[in-house]
């Protein structure tokens, strides 16, 4: 997804070898989003509210690049994570899911909130608390009962994180989690998994070993280079395939003639 930015140019050669693509995405709360329709969804879900906005175009570029991977046979199971908290991974996950669902062939997408410690997906969707992944992995509820959709969003389903369990990493490492991903892969065109950050807990590293690709979200001006390198090292230990990086918080200038065209 583009060239590696200056922020990553001095990373170790070993970490650079894992980087295939890069998308620069400006943090949603730092730009004006035109909320073109009424909804309970968070205004930062710009791919829903304003598909023609500049940042929405960046997510469309990201979608195009994903769809073109492996000569048009992209990974169907993708984890989205970050090195540490507050880098914008959940907003990025939601906008990517929305953008993918708008692709030309209208693929069916499911987004799982696998952050069973501090999941925020329901808050961004304006949805009340509901049972989800944690209850399913503990055998308390069926798969059909945890998958939900929103009336005004086509081709996109969700699974909430559920209640905070006593041992989330053990649940994520279970055979039931592996079977869930396999089952959903057969039912949907893409399975996106929003995971906890890599450095604080091992959840994302566990999940990355079950999926075909990982996208690492990095916040410009906040995430230290060494932290990013360490996150990549942890992911590489499970032979995870990093298919791209999303760089949030990027400030860039758009010439007037380009803006007028958009």
DSSP per-residue codes, 24-77: E---GGGS-----S--SS-TT-HHHH-TTSHHHHHHHHHHHHHHTHHHH---SE
Kindly state the percentage of the chain with pLDDT values over 90.
66
Tell me which residue of 67, 24, 69 sits closest to 251, measured CA to CA: 24
pTM exceeds 0.85 for this model: no
**H/E stretch holding 159:** strand 156-159
Backbone CA torsion sign across 70, 109, 238, 25? positive
Q: How far are the Cα atoms of 97, 99, 184 from residue 106, in angstroms, in the given order?
A: 12, 10, 17
Answer yes or no: is pLDDT of 260 > 70. no
Looking at the chain, the number of H-run helices and the number of E-run strands are 13, 8
Residue 51's pLDDT is what?
87
Q: Is the pLDDT of residue 22 over 60?
A: no
pLDDT of residue 92: 94
Identify the structural domains of the chain with CATH numbers, from first to last.
7-261 (3.40.50.300)
Q: Say yes or no to pLDDT of 4 above 50.
A: no
Mean pLDDT over the full length of the chain: 84
């Amino acid at each position: 997804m583009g060239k590696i930015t200056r922020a990553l140019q001095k990373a170790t050669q070993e970490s650079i070898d894992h980087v295939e693509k890069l998308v620069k995405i400006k943090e949603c709360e730092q730009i004006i989003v035109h909320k073109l329709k009424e909804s309970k969804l968070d205004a930062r879900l710009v791919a829903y509210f304003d598909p023609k906005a500049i940042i929405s175009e960046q997510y469309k570029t990201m979608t195009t690049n994903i769809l073109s991977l492996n000569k048009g046979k992209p990974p169907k199971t993708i984890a989205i994570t970050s090195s540490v908290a507050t880098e914008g991974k959940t907003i990025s996950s939601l906008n990517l899911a929305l953008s993918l669902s708008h692709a030309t062939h209208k693929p069916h997408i499911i987004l799982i909130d696998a952050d069973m410690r501090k999941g925020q997906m329901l808050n961004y969707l304006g949805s009340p608390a509901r049972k989800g992944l944690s209850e399913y992995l503990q055998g308390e509820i069926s798969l059909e009962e945890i998958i939900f959709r929103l009336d005004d969003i086509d081709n996109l389903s969700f699974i909430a994180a559920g209640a905070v369990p006593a041992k989330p990493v053990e649940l994520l490492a279970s055979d039931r989690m592996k079977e869930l991903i396999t089952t959903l892969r057969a039912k949907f065109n893409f399975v996106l998994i929003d995971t906890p950050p890599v450095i604080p807990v091992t959840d994302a590293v566990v999940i990355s070993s079950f999926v075909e690709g990982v996208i690492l979200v990095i916040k410009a001006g906040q995430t230290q280079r060494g932290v990013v390198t360490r996150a990549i090292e942890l992911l590489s230990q499970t032979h995870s395939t990093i298919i791209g990086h999303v760089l949030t918080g990027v400030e860039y200038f758009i010439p007037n003639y380009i803006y007028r065209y958009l």
